[in-house]
Structure 1
Amino acid sequence: MTIAARSILFVPGDRAERFEKARASGADMVVIDLEDAVLPDRKCAARDAVHDALASLTEPRFVVRVNSLDTDWHADDVRALAALPGVAGLMLPKAERASDFAAMREAAGGKPLHALVETVSAILNLADLVTAPGLSRLSFGTVDFQADAGIDGDRAEIDHVRTQIVLQSRSAGLAAPVDGVSTDLSDDAALESDTQHARRFGFGGKLCVHPRQVAIVNRAFLPSDADVDWATRVMSAIDGAFGAVAVDGKLIDKPVVDRARRLLATHDAFRSAA
């Protein structure tokens, strides 16, 4: 069972000295950002810096967020970086339809593609977007989406959108999606609450904009001790059993067993990072 990254940490593309520091933060995935984190007059220099840093690597270590399809930098970003050995995948901001990924998929040569869902059009086109060949995961760009939709609030106000992203991801066989950033870097309790909220809605990860957010996000996506205990007892109860089996007075059927397996797989995959 493949377990998707919980913490996805962005690092500015024009700060090459931070790339390896970001990896040392404990983030499950590091995204070098050529879009929002880089000013327009530094885009080309940032691309060159990322090229130099990743061309010298012998294994894929970083996902790169290229500039959006409607910019002058997008095609050059993809052309210069997609095939580098240090690139583990490409992330497309403001992705809205499956066809947006055609050129990226060809250039990436089978590397995973990630879509940032940030516009009203993307939500209305989700059923098409998730069919993009090579697409591995959706991430919800909550801040940009709220601005585009004219919605003020990132909880109940957009939870119906979260549900659509989770269901469309599940329907297409993609990894559980990634929720958007928590922008208050000083409020650990709010970050914990936001991450637990995303987890309850079926998200499997959260975008991070500072290394201090990583540990909190990672912990929040780990199954609790009570969950692990319950899942262990479920798997023990069905081992060699015939007929109906109950745990804690509740009948154990296939969906319950599947949930127990997922919990234990997640726990085993990430317990060393807890």
Structure 2
Amino acid sequence: MTHPNETAAGIGRITLPLFVPGDRPERFAKAVAAGADAVIVDLEDAVAPAAKEAARAGLAEALAPLLRPARVLVRVNAGGTPWHAADLAACAGIAGLAGIVLPKAETAGDCARVTDATGLPVIALIESARGLANAGEVAGASTRLAFGSIDFAADLGMAHEREVLRPARFALAMAARLAGQSGPIDGVTTALRDEEAIIGDCRHAVDMGFAGKLLIHPAQIAPARRGFAPSEAECEWAQRVLAAVEGGAAAVAVDGAMVDAPVIARARQILARAGSAAG
């Protein structure tokens, strides 16, 4: 987790970022040490309105010893709230901060204002019907998309269930691909220690073209990594595919099925996921 010079490419490599409340600085170092790909210091939902000013005021000092060895982002309060502008100003003054997580992102302008104010990459959280409707333009103005699935379901009055949210996840994966981004980061699993639920949600995210997941507790890191890692059978299949085409053949058969360019690309993606999970 050594990223002294964070770039948009660095944001694209994040798979499992872990939230930590912005008003609990004593937890920041523990969050970094937990082993997630990045830490998101949360000034929004995790901090009560009465505590927001104090959390913001102490942010730079609390983060100073962590920024060089770790990738740290800040989730600011949404545009239109009384805290948004001050959050951006505070983040702009923190050298080494990796980026901003912007909640309730709904337009390209929302993202552009954050970039202009901070000079930092933006992960845009899609959490509303309007945000999803404008996902293409939001993707074009941000570095990465993320899905605030719980807020999104509440905005539309729908159940927070995989099948219900499948069209939304598909739309976000499409928007990210068309913008040339890495796959989106999926929303949280509220079960803190239910490994089966966490692994299942991560595997569903992979199936939907997502490339990461927001985490809310260190206990979720290990099962999430297992959920994003391909199975041993998938890796063995991918290795057989690449071995079969090593000589340059355009189309061959592996396990009785034709292998051509799209299948080869899939095999490479699986092995890349395996490498990411191992690293």
TM-score by length of 1: 0.92
Contact 1:8 1:28 in 2 (8 A): yes
Check conservation: 1:54, 1:86, Cα contact below 8 A: no
Among candidates 94, 107, 115, match of residue 105 of structure 1: 115
Conservation of the 8 A alpha-carbon contact between 2:16 and 2:212: yes
Secondary structure of the equivalent of 2:106? coil
Q: Is the 8 A contact 2:77 2:103 kept in 1?
A: yes
- Residue in 1 that maps onto 2:175: 168
Say whether the 8 Å CA contact 1:4–1:176 is kept in structure 2: no
Instruction: Give the alignment partner of residue 83 of structure 2, picking from 59, 69, 73.
Output: 73
Identity between Structure 1 and Structure 2 (%): 45
CA-CA distance at 1:83 after TM superposition: 4.4
Per-residue Cα deviation, 1:167-193 (whole angstroms, up to 9, x for no partner)? 111111111111111112242222222
Superposed counterparts of 1:132-211, under 5 Å: 132=141, 135-211=142-218
Q: Does structure 1 conserve the Cα–Cα contact (< 8 Å) formed by 2:193 and 2:219?
A: no
Match of 1:116 in 2: 125
Tell me by how many angstroms 1:242 deviates.
Answer: 3.5
Candidates 89, 106, 118, aligned match of 2:99: 89
- 1:202, 1:61 → 2: CA distance? 24
Residues 124-175 of structure 1: per-residue CA shift (max 9 Å, x gap) = 111221111xx22111111111111111232211211111111111111111
Structure 2 residue matching 1:114: 3-state secondary structure:
strand
In angstroms, what is the RMSD of aligned CA positions? Answer: 1.8
The aligned length equals 269
From 2, 5, 24, the counterpart of 2:14: 5
Structure-1 separation of matches of 2:249 and 2:203: 37
Give CA-to-partner distance per residue, 1:91-123, whole Å, 9 cap, x none. Answer: 1000001110222212333x3210111011101
Instruction: Tell me if 1:239 matches 2:238.
Output: no
Kept in 2, the 8 Å contact 1:179–1:207? The answer is yes
Secondary structure of residue in 2 paired with 1:64: strand
Partner residue of 2:219? 212
Superposition TM-score, scaled by structure 2 size: 0.90
Unmatched runs of 5 consecutive residues or more in structure 2: 1-8
In the alignment, which residue of structure 1 is the partner of 2:232? Answer: 225
1:267 aligns with 2:250: no
Q: In the aligned structure 1, how far is the partner of 2:16 from the partner of 2:43?
A: 19
In structure 1, list runs of 5 or more residues that go unmatched. none
Offset, 1:5? 2.4
What is the aligned partner in structure 1 of residue 43 from structure 2?
34
